[in-house]
Copies of this chain bind each other. A is one copy, B any other.
Amino acid sequence: MANIRDVAKESGVSVATVSRFINQKGYVSKEAKEVIGRAIKELDYKPNLVARSLSTKQTKLIGLIVPDIMNPFFPELARAVEDVALTYDYTVVLCNSDEKAEKEIHYIETLRQKYVAGFIVTTNQLQASHYQNLDIPVVALDRTIDASIPTVSSNNKEGARLGTAHLIEQGCQHIVCMRGPTGLGPADDRLDGFLEAVEGKEIVTHIIECPFHFEQSEEIARKFLSEHKGIDGVFASSDVSAAGVLKAAHSLGIIVPDELQIVGFDGIALGGMLSPGLTTVAQDIYKLGALVTRMLIKLIEEIELEEKEIQVPVKLIIRGTTRSEQ
């Protein structure tokens, strides 16, 4: 592989001039540009990015820290991140943290040794400490790590309000809210939205905590639904949980949506594959990912951020797990 010196030699100029040329920095005469351009073509020269990084102390690597890429929310997010990164010539490193602080710390350290340009963090592990005094840019998704860290999130509260209101409109009077883990920002916000929607209405409510995990949700729902008769609506804080509820209902012979209506939250592809299709409060996951990545890249390239907190609207998608008026 040709290096910058070969190009310099081939074109009869110095390496400094070639460097200026490829970085479009400083003065390079028209003639020089021509010769160099030709030499680069001829030699099929590609700059050695490692050498450049050593010199500039910068790479075009982005660390994407997710709890677990197998959780169906994250593939779409990762896809958006990667798409945007590609546009700006960045490369995405995948990190599964399993919500463990040690793992996060390990990734951060290893990647810093590689001069990673910045991190996108989507974990719940609220250990702000190891991000705070990091000297490289960090942005967060859907959870406020620290006031100093820019964040993109969905309007969780409004979404939950919307979803719950839909249940009420469709006639539910006895609603269970399967809330996500306490202390987890988005889960708390969604509970707030739920409470706001039922407030002052003549609705019987139950609130049960439930992880964003299919089997566990199914089990919890099965137990609850068989012990409590008369429940006619479930607002689940995630689509995976909602899928668990739907499966539980099926196995108990409860007919959805006639006897029980269900609304999920997230808008992952799974919802459309179920029968009946899952009514859900859809986040624009791709947009979340795209926005957060652009934000990070701005930070890296020291472009002023207009906003440090962006909220992305959510949208109610009505499918078959709730009754439709038409």
Contacts and interface: CB of A to CB of B under 8 A. Distances in A.
Main secondary structure of the interface of A (DSSP, over half): helix
A261 to B, nearest CB: 16
Contact of A94 (B54, B94, B110, B244): B94
A59 B89 CA distance: 19
Nearest to A78: B69
A83 B91 CA distance: 19
Interface string A29-66: 00000000000000000111111011000010000100
Interface string A129-151: 00000000000000000000000
A46 B276 CA distance: 55
B92 A94 contact: yes
Contacts of A72: 72, 75, 269
A3 to B, nearest CB: 12
A143 B174 CA distance: 52
A115 B114 CA distance: 12
A139 to B, nearest CB: 18
Nearest to A251: B275
Interface residues of A, number: 51
Given A48-B113, A50-B115, A273-B274, A91 B91 contact: no
A272 interface: yes
A250 interface: yes
Nearest to A116: B91
Contacts of A275: 246-247, 250-251, 274-275
Scoring A78, A244, A276 by chain B CB atoms within 10 A of each residue's CB, the highest score goes to: A78
A95 interface: yes
A82 to B, nearest CB: 5
Interface string A227-255: 00000000000001001101100110000
Interface in A67-84: 68-70, 72, 74-76, 78-79, 82-83
Nearest to A113: B49
B273 A243 contact: yes
A53 B49 CA distance: 11
B83 A79 contact: no
A96 interface: yes
A109 interface: yes
A246 B273 CA distance: 9
A94 B114 contact: no
Contacts of A53: 50
A270 interface: yes
13 contacts: A46-B113, A50-B114, A69-B78, A69-B79, A70-B76, A70-B269, A74-B75, A83-B96, A93-B93, A93-B94, A214-B272, A273-B274, A274-B275
The 4 closest A-B pairs by CB, nearest first: A250-B275, A49-B113, A94-B94, A243-B273
